[in-house]
Structures are given as C-alpha cells and as structure tokens.
C-alpha cells in the first residue's frame, strides 16, 4: 500500500511516475462495476432512494440507500458491537484516540533494534547505523506470543522511504522522487536500502500496563534490501530467475516495498512485496523477451536512485533481477539466523496482504491476497498439504505446493475461483507459457487471459476467524470514466472505494464457488451523489474513504484502516474505524483513532486477549498539500508536523503505537 496519496505529485518529472492508481491491464475482462450493474439488473432496485443524479447504489442485502442524515432514522433495535466515544474526523499535527484509551509510542524510525545500535542522528545517517535501527515506514504488524498477551514478538514491515522526509536539503517531493537528483548519492541510497525490509522486536507489557521494547533481545532482527533470501517453489532455478550474481536462480538479496502481510498458524511471518517497479531504472532493452512482462508491472518505475550505483537495479544490466521481486516472503521470527524464503507458488504481483485461515472442510491452509493496482485482481492460494497444528516443523514448506486461483465475480451474486495452472485453458505455450514457473512469474498476464474481474484497487483481504467470511478492501478507482457509469458505480470517478464480503459455501474455503456481496460503499453518506451505503446510524465522524488494511479481533469484529481518507481535500485524516458486519447495525462505522497530518494508517494487530491494539503510523508529514492549513510540500527541513517527538530539527518519524484501555480491559467492548 504504497500510499495512494503519492499520486498527488503533479510536479514530478516525467521520468518518474506513481502507477498504483493507473491500470496496466488492457484486457477486455469485466470490471467489478460492470458485474455489480448486471447483478442489480436481476434484482429489484430500491425505488426513489437517491437523488435523480444518482443511478443506483450496490447495497448489502436488506439495506436502504444512504440519504442525508436527516432523511431517515436508524433501524429500530439496532445496536453496534462496539462501545467507545468516537474521535472527531479532522486533520491536526498530532494523533488522537477514543476517550478512555491511551495511545503510546512503542518504537520510532531510528530507534535501536540490534545491540550496539547508534543513537538516532537524522542529519548524520549512514548505512551502518540504519542497519541496526528501526526502519522507515512501518506497515504490517504481526504479534507472536511468547507469554500470551504479556510478552511476544512484533514482526514489522518497512515498506518504502519518503525520501523528502528522510534527508535534509531536498526542496520538494518532485525533486526527491527524481532518480537523477544530484543529492541522491550512493550513500543516501545505501541508507534507504537499510531502511527497507523489516524488523523483529521483542515487546512486553509492564506492571503499569505500558508496553516497551525489550533491549538486546535474542530475537531482535533487521531485514534489509541486502539480506540473503532463498527462492523456493516452482519458479526457483528457472532461467528467468538467474542473474550474473546468482546463476542458480535460487538466491536473492533483500525484499522490497513490503506492504501488508500475515501470520501463519505455525508461527511464521508472511510479508508481501508490492510496488517493486519503483526501484528499477531503464531504459528497457529493445525487443527484450521480458518487455511485455515489464510493461504489465509498470517497470521500470524510476522512483529511487539505487540503479545509478548498483547494477542489479538497472534493467539493461540485469534484466532478470526484476523477476526476483514481487513475491510473498515467509520468515521465522523466532530464529534470527533463519533464511527468509520467497514462496513463488503464491504468485508474483503487487501483493497487498497474505492473511489466511485453516480450511475447516479439509485442513488446508488458504491464503488470500489482493493485487494493489487499479483494475487488478483478487487471489487465493490453497495448499496441497494440510496444516499440522501439533508439529510446527511439519508445515515448514507447506506454502511451496498448492493451487493459486484468481477471482471472477458473476452477476448472479456468485464468484468463481479460476485456477492458474500451466496447461489448463489459455495457459499454454501458444500464449507464451512454457511451465508453471512462467505462469507464476507473469501471474498478472495469466489472470488476464482467464478473464478475472478487474477490481477498484484491491488491497488487504482478510478472513473473519469467527464467521469464515472474507473481506476485500477496495481502495478506489479514480480512472472510471463517464461512459462506465453503472447502477453500482454512478460516479465518473470512484474516489472513495468500497468493501466486498465473500461467503464460502458451508465454510469451505477451498470451494470453487463463493457468494459475494458489498458490505459498504465508502464516502460521505450525507451527500446523495456520493452514493455511500453506511448504515444510517453512522455519524458524521464515522464514515471514511479509501479502505486499505483491516483486522479482526478475537470476537470476529472488523477494524478498518485507511490510506487516502483526505485525498479529496475533505479535511479528514486517515485512521482506524470499527465496522459492524452483522445484525441491524451492519454497515455502521465508528471512528476510533486518528493519525497525524499526512500519515497513512497501517498494520492493525491485536494481542490475543484483545487488551492491546497495535497500529503503525506510516509517513507522518507526507502529502503536505492535502492539509489545506499547510498547503505546500512537506520536507525534512520544513515538515507539516514533527510527530511524535515535536522537537526542533527532528523530522516526523514513522512509529508503532500501542493502544490500551485506561484501567485495563478489552478494546472497544
């Protein structure tokens, strides 16, 4: 989830672009809007629910279309599953949590992770210091218990670096994101490479109820863009994975742009590589066999200067290096000496999320992931083997064998999982696939050929551990044109997004056909033309735009975080919202936590006892122009906020926040 806000860089040079809000698929397969429209054509549309300028809205079953708040009352007897007083929706330089809760900074960019880490000196950064310090732009969080909910490990993704906030002297966002900027040296590139990847930290809750990082923990680990990793599964050793530095095609250095992720029942961390195109420089070799593959992935992205100093990031020098990124990586957080493994059976695309669930019908592990790009797809992987809950080691390579499928949403309310298997359907030599490795390296093109349904930027996909239903966060699709208006998407540009709910038959997560529905369409429900479908009980602070990540607590309640809630300059920062999914309150949303200006909300994660809610505040201070009170680029030397330190000369610092209830107790109950 490289920030959806990054698209607001109009002054960026032509050689750099942010493509997560641009479609790379040119196929004729239907969009989700086309499907919803066809589906509603088979049902009775609610008459007169919206203003004449709005065609119709896709609704959860039994819902009324959203009206201005005064136009309809709350359902009789409706009761939300969440109990807390909402925070106001606005933008300030600080964060805020619901009344009765504490939101404490656990760890910040530059804080020590490994023994011997240097003190944080933002104007004197080096490769050596950053390699031992907490990395930048913390995203996914996974909690692994050691002593229940009192002590455990936190696995943290470090997605990307906001270069203009990382280094002094850069005058604008456009300058920072131009790989030719002279201030972007080999040394700054090395700092950025060390700030990527991930961290494992040991954390414990003290007698005062406050969480702290355990110093010099034997579990502590930093993973960077130079950490050796093993390539496993069907693509391991394939000719398209070999480079001059690695003629075996089985060993790669580092992971890049790790966004959301997941934790497995056997206690490993699965982390997703997303916008890997940003890191490679061109030009593309004329007529190269990978040219179509690169185009489908938006390569080269030319955002970072690394390719000026390291040949593996120059496509003309190492054309196969790009095929070694864009995977899901499995890591053992309990063994800091273990080798991370890129599991190629799970497919190569811009992964957002790798959450899974044990299939009650067959015992397989079922993992879901979205491809975070406009008009791309939702995927599922079902392992060949079963999870052995009594023997952790038996699951060591479970993710190397199984069936990867892509979703097609049909108009009758069903969705079908289409297997991405070499030799089946169009996935044959006639279409350029010589093996399963080719299918996985070019997962996007394979899914195009199968006729998967284009979605409005699918991001996190999570299974509810209580109900077994699956929820897909669709952030937005601002590229929708006026000639694509339909009953479910009446806006010429979907700038608010929506959430899909998938229901497996009889709870069988490996079934070929699911049912699907829309939980909510996002945006301001008081503006009829927006077409939002939050429950009428939702307050003026409770609605949100651009859902990105989500998490379920032990009660099976849905918590949603946003990326780009202020994209339309509405004066509402990103944050955490609690969303009802059942009963008369279904579709009601409540605002629990608000980020500081410019930040994206990531990594929602609960301890098993539900008494601590960890969240990741990513890129505070970014996107200064979207905070109208600031109204200009936000940089290291001139940041829109200095959260969380608020000290002169100290830039904003991405941080993990531990949220607890004053006096103790479960979150939101």
Domain range for residue 95?
Answer: 4-75+86-110+136-147+197-274+326-387+397-661
Determine, yes or no, domain membership for 285. no
Is 173 contained in some domain? no
Distances, alpha carbon 77 to alpha carbons 71, 83, 429, 481, in Å: 19, 16, 60, 41
Least reliable range by pLDDT among 15-24, 379-388, 405-414, 649-658: 15-24
For residue 167, being part of any structural domain is answered with no
Threshold 0.85, pTM exceeds: yes
Within-domain flag for 512: yes
Query: Of the candidates 286, 279, 345, which has an alpha carbon nearest to the alpha carbon of residue 313?
Result: 279
Note the pLDDT tens digit of each residue in 394-420. 999 999 999 999 999 988 889 999 999
Q: pLDDT digits over 141-159, tens only? A: 999 999 999 999 999 999 9
- Number of domains forming the structure of the chain: 1
C-alpha closest to that of 546 among 656, 632, 640, 460 = 460
* DSSP 8-state class, residue 624: G
Residue 60 reports pLDDT greater than 80? no
Rounded CA separation 113/132 (Å): 6
| C-alpha dihedral sign at 569, 570, 575, 580 | negative
What would the pLDDT profile of 93-117 be if each residue is shown by its tens digit?
A: 999 999 999 999 999 999 999 999 9
Give the model confidence (pLDDT) of 254-281 as tens digits. Answer: 999 999 999 999 999 999 999 999 999 9
In a domain, 185, yes or no: no
| Average pLDDT of the chain to the nearest whole number | 89
Beta sheet of 269-273, edge-to-edge order? 251-253, 228-232, 341-343, 328-331, 269-273, 258-263
Please check whether residue 131 lies inside any domain of the structure. no
H or E element in which residue 142 lies? strand 138-147
Q: Are strands 328-331 and 351-358 parallel, antiparallel or unpaired?
A: unpaired
Q: Is 234 among the domain residues?
A: yes
pLDDT bracket for residue 567 (50, 70, 90): low
pLDDT reading at 8 higher than 50: no
Buried b (16+ CB within 10 A) or exposed e, 548-574: bbbbbbeeebbbbbbbbbbbbebebbb
Structural domain contains residue 501:
yes
The pLDDT value recorded for residue 30 is: 63
**613 in Cβ contact with 605 (< 8 Å):** yes
Q: How many CB atoms lie within 10 A of CB 48?
A: 8
Q: What are the residues whose beta carbons fall under 8 Å from the beta carbon of 412, sequence distance 6 or more? A: 39, 42
Structure tokens that stand for 298 in this block: 């938006």
Q: Which of 182-196, 219-233, 491-505, 653-667 has the lowest mean pLDDT?
A: 491-505
The arithmetic mean of pLDDT across residues 617-623, rounded, is 96
Say which residue, 138 or 564, is predicted with more confidence. Answer: 138
Residue 155: predicted pLDDT = 98
Which H helix or E strand runs over 107?
strand 101-108
H or E segment to which residue 193 belongs: helix 186-195
């Amino acid at each position: 989830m490289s920030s959806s806000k990054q698209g607001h860089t109009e002054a960026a040079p032509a050689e750099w672009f942010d493509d997560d809000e641009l479609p790379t698929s040119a196929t004729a397969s239907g969009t989700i809007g086309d499907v919803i429209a066809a589906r509603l054509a088979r049902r009775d549309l609610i008459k007169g629910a919206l203003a004449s300028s709005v065609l119709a809205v896709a609704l959860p079953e039994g819902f009324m279309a959203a009206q201005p708040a005064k136009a309809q009352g709350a359902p009789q007897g409706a009761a939300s599953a969440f109990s807390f007083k909402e925070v106001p929706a606005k933008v300030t330089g600080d964060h805020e949590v619901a009344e009765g809760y504490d939101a404490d900074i656990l760890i910040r960019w530059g804080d020590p992770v490994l023994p011997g880490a240097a003190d944080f000196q933002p104007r004197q950064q080096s490769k050596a210091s950053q390699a031992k310090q907490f990395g930048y732009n913390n995203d996914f969080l996974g909690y692994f218990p050691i002593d229940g909910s009192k002590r455990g490990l936190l696995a943290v993704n470090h997605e990307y670096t906001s270069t203009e906030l990382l280094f002094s002297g850069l005058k604008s966002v456009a300058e920072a994101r131009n790989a030719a900027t002279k201030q972007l040296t080999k040394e700054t590139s090395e700092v950025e490479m060390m700030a990527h990847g991930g961290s494992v930290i040991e954390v414990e809750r003290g007698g005062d109820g406050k969480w702290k990082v355990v110093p010099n923990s034997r579990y502590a680990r930093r993973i960077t863009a130079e950490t050796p990793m093993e390539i496993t599964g069907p693509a391991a050793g394939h000719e398209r994975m070999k480079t001059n530095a690695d003629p075996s095609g089985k060993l790669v250095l580092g992971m890049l742009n790790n966004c959301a992720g997941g934790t497995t029942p056997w206690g490993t961390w699965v982390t997703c590589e997303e916008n890997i195109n940003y890191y490679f420089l061109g030009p593309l070799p004329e007529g190269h066999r990978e040219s179509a593959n690169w185009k489908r992935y938006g390569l080269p992205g030319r955002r970072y200067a690394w390719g000026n100093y390291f040949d593996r990031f120059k496509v003309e020098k190492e054309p196969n290096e790009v095929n070694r990124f864009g995977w899901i990586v499995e890591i053992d957080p309990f063994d800091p000496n273990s080798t991370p493994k890129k599991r190629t059976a799970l497919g190569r695309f811009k992964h957002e999320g790798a959450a899974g669930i044990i299939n009650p019908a067959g015992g397989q592990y079922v993992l879901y992931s979205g491809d975070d790009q406009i008009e791309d797809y939702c995927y599922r992987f079902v392992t060949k083997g079963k999870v052995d809950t009594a023997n952790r080691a038996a699951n060591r390579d479970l993710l190397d064998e199984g069936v990867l499928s892509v979703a097609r949403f049909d108009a009758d309310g069903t969705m079908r999982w289409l297997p991405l298997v070499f030799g089946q359907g169009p996935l044959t030599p006639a279409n350029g696939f010589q093996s399963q490795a080719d299918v996985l390296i070019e997962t996007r093109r394979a899914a195009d050929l199968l006729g998967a349904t284009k979605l409005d930027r699918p991001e996190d996909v999570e299974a509810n551990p209580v109900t077994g239903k699956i929820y897909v966060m669709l952030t937005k699709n601002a590229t929708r044109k006026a000639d694509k208006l339909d009953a479910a998407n009446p806006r010429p540009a979907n700038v608010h997004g929506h959430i899909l709910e998938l229901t497996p038959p009889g709870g069988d997560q490996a079934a070929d056909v699911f049912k699907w529905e829309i939980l909510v369409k996002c945006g301001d429900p008081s503006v009829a033309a927006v077409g939002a479908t939050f429950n009428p009980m939702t307050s003026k602070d409770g609605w949100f735009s651009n859902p990105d990540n989500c998490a379920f607590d032990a009660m099976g309640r849905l918590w949603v975080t946003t990326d780009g809630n202020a994209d339309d300059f509405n004066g509402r920062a990103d944050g955490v919202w609690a969303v009802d999914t059942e009963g008369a309150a279904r579709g009601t949303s409540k605002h629990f936590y608000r980020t500081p200006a410019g930040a994206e909300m990531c990594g929602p994660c609960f301890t098993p006892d539900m008494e601590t809610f960890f969240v990741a505040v990513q890129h505070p201070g970014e996107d200064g122009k979207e905070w109208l009170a600031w109204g200009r680029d936000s940089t290291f030397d001139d940041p829109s906020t200095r959260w969380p330190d608020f000290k002169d000369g100290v830039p904003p610092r991405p941080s993990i926040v531990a949220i607890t209830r004053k006096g103790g107790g479960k979150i939101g109950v």
